Amino acid sequence: MLSSGIVLTGGSSIMKGMVEIAEKITGMPVRQGVPANFGANVDNINHPMYATGIGILLYAMQQEGTDGQKFRNGHLFENIFSRMKGWFKEFF
């Protein structure tokens, strides 16, 4: 059992009544997630629609170490993009 509740992210989380429906179905506290601690003045991406994508990017940068050099050089991005492309090919 999750003790802290559920966080909804992505574009569908902004649909009217989504939080309430999720709370009713799960019987747990539910909230909308937004990107946080991104470290830049980015009001345009402070929206639930971008939370998942930004989270994935931040996680990838952490996996590459604190300097993120491979990420900045494009190697990590190419790797992630290649994997995502493979997933889409598999399902579509």
For residue 26, is it within any domain?
no
Structural domain includes residue 57: yes
Work out the pLDDT band at 18, boundaries 50, 70, 90: very high
Domain count for the chain, please give it. Answer: 1
Task: Give the residue numbers spanning the domain of 72.
Answer: 50-92
- Residue 92: CB partners within 8 Å, gap ≥ 6? none
Which 3 state secondary structure label does DSSP give 35?
coil
Residue 58 lies inside a defined structural domain of this protein: yes
Cβ-contact 16, 32 below 8 angstroms = no
19 in any annotated domain: no
Cα angle for residues 35, 38, 43 (degrees, 5° grid): 70
Tens digit of each residue's pLDDT (9 = 90 or more) over 30-74: 998 887 765 555 566 777 887 877 777 777 777 666 555 555 565
Higher pLDDT, 1 or 82: 82
Examine residue 71 and state whether it is found in any structural domain, yes or no. yes
Give the whole-angstrom CA distance, residue 55 versus residue 62: 11
65 located within any domain: yes
Would you list the DSSP string of 1-32?
--SS-EEE-SGGGGSTTHHHHHHHHHSS-EEE
What pLDDT score was predicted for residue 83? 75
pLDDT at 40: 56
